[in-house]
Each structure stands twice: as structure tokens, then as C-alpha cells.
């Protein structure tokens, strides 16, 4: 059985040359996560100071242990935090108005002893929106009811109604005649399309073109699956880079 949990809303803030994403302590976790995304090249030499400064600020703001991670988003630079400062991440917390922080690991006598129970976190994060396990269960039940209703409607439309029409057509001459006329109309309409007497709409033409392109692409993807996988990987990288570029641009403004 899944243990009930509470998730508090993440916080994102702009800075000059970088931005912050803070994820509060999740139920039964040991620390909050603070990610620093650097996008100005001039700040790469100051990563250590930025991480320590932000840790101090957030540890006072929300009195929990924090893990700080730095992500280099400078275009053209592949340097990781380890490459820049010789460490992977920063750990720390506030104690008696002082900031305790260590890179990579705490000494045994400095491991934080902070109450991170649900009641304590409710006080620490009292100003933040939250989402609970119970909320998710209620949403899932509501979505399940919606899917069942849709399934019922589709069953009536695709199964029950055609069966009823077939039965009435067999037992009622009027319904049978109407069904015959409708079938003849569909056949006549299809024949006109096949012989080119019916002008296709722009939407139909566009759909046929799209279907043809899909078949063409599918054929070549099956013919050369290795190249297809490589193309997928390249497209994913391009999409990721574009999302990062747009994110950085939004942070500059």
C-alpha cells in the first residue's frame, strides 16, 4: 500500500545570469533540492560562491536541510560542477542563525537533526500550495468515471444503436427502406469520389497529403531502423536545446 504523502509546490526565481528552482522536502525525504541554472558565461568562475550564497538564503527562508546542485546552461560549454569547482553538490542547513554547509558530504558530527515530519513541514511551508496523496486518488477516481462514461457512450453509438437499427430494419419495413436509401446514398457518394466527379475540400486534400507523407516516412523508418533511431535522438537533442533557449530567454526578460 502506498504511504500517504504531501508535495508542496516548487518555486522558481530569476537572478542576474542564472535562475533558481527550489523543490521543498517531499514526505520522508531528507532534504529539499535547490537547482541553480547558470546561463551567463561570466558566472562560471563564481559557481562556488553563488551556490553557497543561495544555500544560506534558502536555508533561512525554509528551515530544512538542502542539497544544492548547479547546472551549466551556458551555450557551447559542457563543463559540469565537478569540472568547475571539484565537487558535485553542496549540502547545508541553518542552525542557531548560522549556516552549516559542506560540499559532497557532512562530517558525522554535522549531520542535520531537523524535524521533517508532516506537521513540522506544514509549518515550514505554510505559505505554499500543496498536493496530497488523497487529492491524487480523488482525481484518478474522477478520471476513471469519465472514461467509463465515454466508454458507455461509444458502446451505445457503435454497438447498441447499429444493432437496434439492424433489428428494426429487419422487423419494420419503413426503417428497412430508410436504411436501404441511406446505404445507396453512401454508395453513390463513394462512386462519385472514385470517378473524380466530387471535388475534394482543402481539408480532405491536406489530410490525404499528410497520410501519404506518414506512409512514406513509415516505409523508410522500417527500411533503416538504425538511422531512424539516430534521427530520433538528434531531434530530441534539438528540442531539448530549443526548450532551454526559450527558458533562458524568458529569464532574461
* Separation CA 206–CA 253 (nearest Å): 39
Residue 114: the pLDDT is: 94
Model's pTM, two decimal places? Answer: 0.74
Q: Which residues, in sequence order, are bridge partners of residue 133? A: none
> Distance of alpha carbon 251 from its chain centroid, rounded?
20
Q: Which range among 109-113, 180-184, 206-210 shows the weakest confidence by mean pLDDT?
A: 180-184
pLDDT at residue 149 above 70? yes
Residue 252: the pLDDT is: 83
Q: Which residues, in sequence order, are bridge partners of residue 66? A: 32, 92
pLDDT at residue 191 above 80? no
pLDDT at residue 166 above 80? no
- pLDDT tens-digit map of 1-42: 567 899 999 999 999 999 999 999 999 999 999 999 999 999
* Separation CA 54–CA 32 (nearest Å): 13
Amino acid at each position: 500500500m502506498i504511504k500517504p504523502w504531501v508535495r508542496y509546490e516548487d518555486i522558481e526565481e530569476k537572478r542576474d545570469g542564472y535562475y533558481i528552482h527550489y523543490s521543498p522536502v517531499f514526505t520522508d525525504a531528507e532534504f529539499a533540492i535547490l537547482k541553480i541554472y547558470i546561463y551567463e558565461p561570466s558566472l562560471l568562475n563564481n559557481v562556488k560562491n553563488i551556490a553557497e550564497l543561495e544555500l544560506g538564503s534558502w536555508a533561512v527562508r525554509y528551515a530544512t536541510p538542502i542539497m544544492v546542485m548547479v547546472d551549466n546552461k551556458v551555450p557551447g560549454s559542457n563543463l559540469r560542477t565537478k569540472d568547475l569547482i571539484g565537487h558535485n553538490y553542496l549540502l547545508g542547513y541553518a542552525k542557531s542563525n548560522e549556516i552549516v554547509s559542506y560540499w559532497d558530504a557532512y562530517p558525522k558530527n554535522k549531520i542535520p537533526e531537523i524535524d521533517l515530519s508532516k506537521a513540522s513541514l506544514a509549518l515550514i511551508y505554510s505559505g505554499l500550495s500543496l498536493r496530497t496523496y488523497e487529492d491524487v486518488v480523488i482525481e484518478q477516481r474522477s478520471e476513471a468515471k469519465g472514461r467509463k462514461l465515454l466508454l458507455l457512450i461509444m458502446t451505445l453509438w457503435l454497438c447498441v444503436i447499429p444493432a437496434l437499427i439492424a433489428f428494426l430494419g429487419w422487423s419494420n419495413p419503413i426503417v428497412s427502406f430508410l436504411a436501404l436509401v441511406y446505404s445507396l446514398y453512401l454508395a453513390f457518394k463513394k462512386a462519385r469520389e472514385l470517378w473524380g466527379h466530387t471535388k475534394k475540400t482543402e481539408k480532405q486534400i491536406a489530410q490525404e497529403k499528410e497520410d501519404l507523407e506518414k506512409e512514406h516516412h513509415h516505409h523508410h523508418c522500417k527500411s533503416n531502423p538504425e538511422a531512424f533511431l539516430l534521427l530520433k535522438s538528434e531531434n530530441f537533442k534539438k528540442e531539448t536545446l530549443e526548450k532551454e533557449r526559450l527558458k533562458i530567454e524568458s529569464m532574461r526578460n
